[in-house]
Amino acid sequence: MSKRWVSVLFLFWALTASSPVGHAIEVKPYQKDSAVTGILTSDPDCVVKEGRGTAQLWVSVGQILVYQLDVPPGGSYEFHLVPGKYDLAVTNSKGCLAQKQFTLAPKQVAKVNLHLTQKRGGS
């Protein structure tokens, strides 16, 4: 057996030996089944007709970014998440914005639609 194969086998053993069940990691059933879905809509003055027409959508927990996705106008999104409290925010190149908070329970599929509107006020 070559040194290369010995190194590969050792690396495989080292990575799997510390796993709680050998070489597989257990995933709790609710982690596969909790999700949030939605559709992005917008005011007519928020539609971007030239260049990059998509909006950027973020899912976060406090200051921690969990997902980021480009969503086209009228597009849908789906994120599979563990139960907890989350923030959704979406913006586009025209500065339009939508934000929502939601709490996801075990085995729940939450429907959270977002609607882009012009930001009001100073900044």
Q: pLDDT for 53-105, tens place per residue?
A: 889 999 999 999 999 999 988 899 999 999 999 999 999 999 999 999 999 99
pTM more than 0.75: no
What is the residue extent of each domain of the chain? Answer: 1-26, 34-118
pLDDT one-digit tens code per residue, 16-54 = 555 454 445 454 544 567 999 999 999 998 888 776 788
Tally of helices (H runs) and strands (E runs) in the chain: 2, 8
Q: Is the pLDDT of residue 114 over 90?
A: yes
Superfamily covering domain 34-118: Carboxypeptidase-like, regulatory domain (2.60.40.1120)
φ, ψ for residue 82 (rounded to 5)? -80, 155
Cβ atoms of 66 and 81 within 8 Å: the answer is yes
